[in-house]
Amino acid sequence: MKVGIDSLAYYIPKIHLPIETLAIERNIDPMKLIKGLGLQKMALLDIYQDVITMSANAAHSLLKDNPTVQPKDIAKIYVGTESGLDNSKPIASYTLGLLEQIYGARTFRNCDAVDHTFACIGAVDAMQNAIDFVKANPTKKAIVIATDYAKYDLASTGEYTQGAGAIAMLITANPRMLVFNSQTGVATESVFDFFKPYRSIEKQAITGNSTNDTWFEIQETEISIHKDQPVFEGQYSNECYINRITEAYTDFKKQNNQEDIIVYKDWKAILMHLPYCFQGRRTFHEIVLQENPELVDKTAADAKDQIKAFAKSEAYMEIVKNKIAPSEIASGEVGNIYTGSIFLGLLSTLSHFSDTKENITDTKLGFIAYGSGSKSKVFEAEVQPNWVEGMPSVSIFDALKESQAIDFNTYSALHKKEQKTAVSAPSNEFAIDYIEASIPHLVGARYYKFVK
């Protein structure tokens, strides 16, 4: 049974901050970010957008590109995200409701909907669960969406790795694009390299009252606080990334009885989680050296220097150019989109090969996914003969050229939620209508509309 991705779609916000603008404001050499990390732009949410609008817009684009697929054909809508807006109602449920504004009330009534959360690997988990479902029910179809907004504190070490976007995938039997047949290699360890905890503050510190008076319906003495921005330690997170991907790669070889084979050599392209554009190329050398220990430069002073020497070598740069660089093109223009980053890399890679007219039918793509907390999965896909038919009707490269640059002050105001007027105008897309603030049994309910 062949099951996999039949079609791909995306939604990227219409505005961005040029990395050069941010670098100059933060007194960073722009070339350190542009040439050193591969960063060009950070896609940002406007005030009428959130992860729900991006999810629904990506799903709507997917269905528009596949007019023969009807709501009744979709059995599952699975969303991968680490930017949920409700502890109970999933983004998938919102997405289903928004799509019914287009396709008619209750047209998705028999569709299952759920979110998957495990940092940046949640959408991979969602996709694999959808694939397992279709394998068991080959006449059914599923939509998988990765939607996230990577937001970091102003002037923090993660600020230049922000971004926003959503990728939608149609999962079917006998897909036009990619088939997943291999066993998945997995590596997991519970760590705190990056997380988004609920924190608490004494009510008295906010109200100034010594008595525990009810404040905005909060009766407890402590008030929970949640920030979009994570708690993280960059260097430790990078170590966890390397440890998990190398362990998962080893497990992949074991699970597929390929322990005596240098697996990555058979991959036409490599898709990795890219929290910033060059993260893949700056870590994959660990796997190359694990497979080829003879490539270590023994003339270097110590192990770290030996690895650094190889990472700059002509042999490794050739691997980067041929197998990793195509996935970086869109990443540099969008930034980090957490669960969607590996699939943005997939879309970038396929768009590159579509533009160059290179025949990649029957080749294999290697996926190296990572989610903080921490887990990695390694698996592969086979490119199908009609893969081009499943590409978005509008190239992501063309869409990114239309993005509107904003200045630093506007970026700062958006980040602090001080900006009250939209920078861009919604057009043929879902947008936030309002958030209920008065009706007691609906306080906090989020309402959306489709703007033509």
- Tokens encoding 367: 């996926």
Q: Work out the mean pLDDT of the chain and round it to a whole number.
A: 96
pLDDT, position 304: 80
Instruction: Write down the pLDDT at residue 45.
Output: 98
pLDDT at 449 over 80: yes
Q: Residue 281 and residue 42: Cα distance in Å, rounded?
A: 20
- Helix axis angle, 51-65 relative to 91-103, nearest 10°? 50
- Give, as one character, the DSSP assignment of residue 368: E
Q: Considering only CA atoms, which of 354, 390, 353, 387 is closest in space to residue 62?
A: 390
- Answer yes or no: is pLDDT of 324 > 80: yes
Task: Report the alpha-carbon distance of residue 81 to residue 146 in Å, rounded.
Answer: 6
pLDDT in tens, 2-39: 999 999 999 999 999 999 999 999 999 999 999 999 99
How many domains does the chain fold into?
2
Asked if 169 contacts 127 with a C-beta cutoff of 8 angstroms, the reply is yes
Do 7 and 122 lie in one domain? The reply is: yes
pLDDT of residue 380: 98
Burial class (CB in 10 A: 0-12, 13-18, 19+), 234: middle
Are 263 and 409 within one domain?
yes
In the chain, helix, strand, coil percent, each to 5? Answer: 40, 25, 35
**How far apart, in whole angstroms, are the C-alpha atoms of residue 432 and residue 449?**
6
Answer left, alpha or beta for residue 38, where phi above 0 means left and psi between -120 and 50 means alpha. left
Beta-carbon count within 10 A of 238 CB: 15
Quick one: 182 and 209 in the same domain? no
Cα of first residue to Cα of last residue in the chain, in angstroms, is 41
Which of 364, 176, 360, 188 minimizes the C-alpha distance to 264? 364
| 284 and 203 inside one domain | no
- Which domain-ending residue is among 208, 227, 246? 227
Secondary element (H or E) of residue 334: helix 325-334
Structure confidence at residue 46 as a pLDDT band (50, 70, 90): very high
pLDDT above 90 covers a percentage of the chain that reads 94
Largest CA distance in the chain: 72
Q: Tell me the pLDDT tens digit for each residue of 201-226.
A: 999 999 999 999 999 889 999 999 88
As a whole number, mean pLDDT of residues 328-332 equals: 98
Tell me, what CATH number does 373's domain have? 3.40.47.10
pLDDT surpasses 90 at 295: no
In this structure, are 329 and 341 located in the same domain? yes
What is the average per-residue pLDDT within 363-383? 98
**Domain enclosing residue 201, as ranges:** 197-227
pLDDT digits (tens, 9 = 90+) for 72-117: 999 999 999 999 999 999 999 999 999 999 999 999 999 999 999 9
